[in-house]
Amino acid sequence: MTGPRVKAHFINYSLKRVMIDEFLANYFKDAGYAGVELFKSPMGWRVIIHAEYPGRIIGRGGSVIRKLTTILQTHFGLEDVNITVLPVQDPDLNARIVAFRIVRALEKEIPYRRVAMVMLRRIMNAGAVGAEIIISGKLRSERARYEKLKAGRIYKAGDLVEYIVDRAVGKALLKRGVYGVEVVIVKPNIRPPDYIEIKKLSPEELEKLKPPKEEAGEETGENKEE
């Protein structure tokens, strides 16, 4: 493929992935949807869905997954779709899952401050470096405002943000209006792909690396006696 065709290919692929991600996020909000991976192979399209409750996406006897396959083929133009649903290893460290949890709790009329504090505690207990939860809307009056709860260290800029910070947003529809939810989680032990760990040597190891000491006669340049 030439340059413009390659560019168009990746743009179309990214747009298709975003559209599928938004559809699945709305369709499987109650299943703890966490994200989707899209791969094109000679055999067709492979779709990997990550969720907190995979059984709700698969359905009884695979009924939901068959319906989802038809939707992806009909509305999104994916041919020969193969769908795999995988559970999320650490749901409390996934920003999208936590955001959907907060949304479901708010729609059940649970006080927003209580929900945010419970979720913030669960995130930190799961081992996160830091977490931030922002809930905005008509919280206490007719005037919109926001409430922010934060714990630990939060990174807003820098190259490491691409690897260690997970961010997600959600919206809850209530009688008082729409509430916005933003969750930021700083994950532990996440390093960039080009990270090189430098081991710190002990004094004993440094001593072994030193060259052997020369004899006194060789250091001073004195001639040895015949």
pLDDT at 153 over 90: no
- CATH, residue 43: 3.30.300.20
| 106 and 123 housed in the same domain | yes
pLDDT per residue over 37-75, tens digit each?
988 888 888 899 999 899 999 988 888 999 999 998 888
| 37 and 112 housed in the same domain | no
pLDDT at 206 over 70: no
Residue 115 lies in a domain: yes
- Report the percentage of the chain scoring pLDDT > 70: 84
Long-range contacts of 108-115 (CB under 8 A, 24+ apart): 109/174, 112/139, 112/147, 112/179, 113/147, 113/149
pLDDT at 220 over 60: no
Residue 104 lies in a domain: yes
Domain end (from 58, 87, 116): 87
Neighbours of 122 (CB within 10 A): 16
Q: Which residues pair with 134 in a beta bridge?
A: 148, 182
- CATH, residue 109: 3.30.1140.32
**pLDDT of amino acid 193:** 55
Q: What distance in Å separates the CA atoms of residue 192 and residue 197, rounded to the nearest whole number?
A: 11
Q: For the chain, what is the domain count? A: 2
Give me the mean pLDDT over the 95-103 stretch.
93
Q: Residue by residue, what is the 3-state secondary structure of 41-55? A: ECCEEEEEEEECCHH
Q: What distance in Å separates the CA atoms of residue 178 and residue 166, rounded to the nearest whole number?
A: 23
Lowest average pLDDT, out of 41-45, 90-94, 146-150, goes to 41-45
| 99 and 179 housed in the same domain | yes
| 13 and 59 housed in the same domain | yes
The C-alpha torsion from 14 through 16 and 17 to 23, rounded to 10°, is 150
| 108 and 179 housed in the same domain | yes
Residue 214 lies in a domain: no
Confidence of residue 203 (pLDDT cuts 50, 70, 90): confident
Phi, psi of 205 (to 5 degrees): -70, -35
| 180 and 95 housed in the same domain | yes
Residue of 207 and 217 predicted with greater confidence: 207
Q: What is the domain extent for residue 103? A: 91-186
The residue behind tokens 């969750």 is 183
